[in-house]
Amino acid sequence: MNRDAVLIEADELLTKLGDANIRIYDATILFFRSESDPTAYEQYLQGHIPGAAFFDHQNFSDARSNYMYTVLPETELATQIGNIGIAEDSEVVFYTSGYLPCATRAWWILRYAGHNHVRVLNGGLAAWEAAGGKIEQEARQYAASTFECRLRPHMFASKEEVQAAMEDDGVCTVNTLTLESYEKAHIPGSSLLPCQDLMQEMAAFLPDDKIASRLKEEAQHKRIITYCGGGIAATVNAVAHLMAGNKNVSVYDGSMSEWVGDGLPITKGGGL
């Protein structure tokens, strides 16, 4: 899988606007908003790519889990994907208003479900506007469709797999949060590569050569497991590995939320 299979640039998306088969979604999450700030959906209504619908991550998260953003079970996931208008042959594009990991999380979920025609708008809404793309305020949604999952179970790692990886030198477990967060608590034996180190201003991926250079050491392992606080930032590193040609990559969905919540061992310090 190369960059073009994962990312779409704004100038290309401009040529596809109006295509009956394209499905565009604003996948923004606002993590640090105050009660007086607009919600992600309200922000979407203030301006989005024409025709784009809103991708609500909560609708793709298992409400029975103790931890936020845990991916849905297969049957419910298929139903939800169909409900928002995605069929097997739909060409899907996810973007955000500034925080790339929200779009890569949506991409990861759809690929996990077995969809093969999904990309992320590199640079998000800002790149769209910079390329001359217009915005609209009207709420949009696509007609419901039918989708059948063909799961790629290797794309998500369980806590049991992460525990086993602690004893396996062939598996590289990577914390994708900040150095400050890593030093406060991380999974024993895990290394650090902040997702920010693979992006430009949190909105776009770095050029391929820089990504390959920063992933070179991790790529020596037979398997890579990325994790963060709740399975979102970790998808940036995982997607970057796929673009760099490293295939055996998984995201620990529960990440530190589950690891700490379940009382599993942590390490503090260890700044690089």
Query: Concatenated DSSP letters for 158-196?
Result: -HHHHHHHTT-TTEEEEE-S-HHHHHH-B-TT-EE--GG
Q: What is the pLDDT of residue 271?
A: 54
SS3 95: strand
Residue 194 predicted with pLDDT over 80: yes
Q: What is the mean pLDDT of the chain?
A: 96
Q: Are 29 and 57 in contact (CB under 8 A)?
A: yes
Assess whether pLDDT exceeds 90 at residue 270.
no
Distance CA 180, CA 183 (A): 5
| Beta bridge mates, 157 | 252
Of all residues in the chain, the percent with pLDDT exceeding 90 is 94
- The domain segmentation of the chain, as residue ranges, is 3-151, 154-261
- How many other CB atoms are there within 10 angstroms of residue 34's CB atom? 6
CA-angle at 247, arms to 243 and 253, nearest 5°: 90
Architecture of domain 154-261: 3-Layer(aba) Sandwich (3.40)
Q: What stretches of 127-272 adopt beta strand conformation (E)?
A: 156-157, 171-175, 191-192, 199-200, 204-205, 223-227, 249-252
Can you give the pLDDT at residue 35? 81
Report whether pLDDT(237) > 60. Answer: yes
3-state secondary structure of 29: coil
Read off the pTM. Answer: 0.96
What dotted CATH number matches 3-151? 3.40.250.10
Give me the half-sphere count of Cα atoms (radius 13 Å) on the Cβ side of residue 74: 7
Distances (CA, A) of 129 to 9, 50, 138, 178, 180: 12, 11, 17, 30, 34
Please report which confidence band the pLDDT of residue 33 belongs to, taking 50, 70 and 90 as the band edges.
confident
Q: Rounded to whole angstroms, how far apart are CA atoms 125 and 120?
A: 11
Asked if the domains at 3-151 and 154-261 fall in one CATH topology, the answer is yes
User: What number is the average pLDDT over the span 246-272?
Assistant: 92
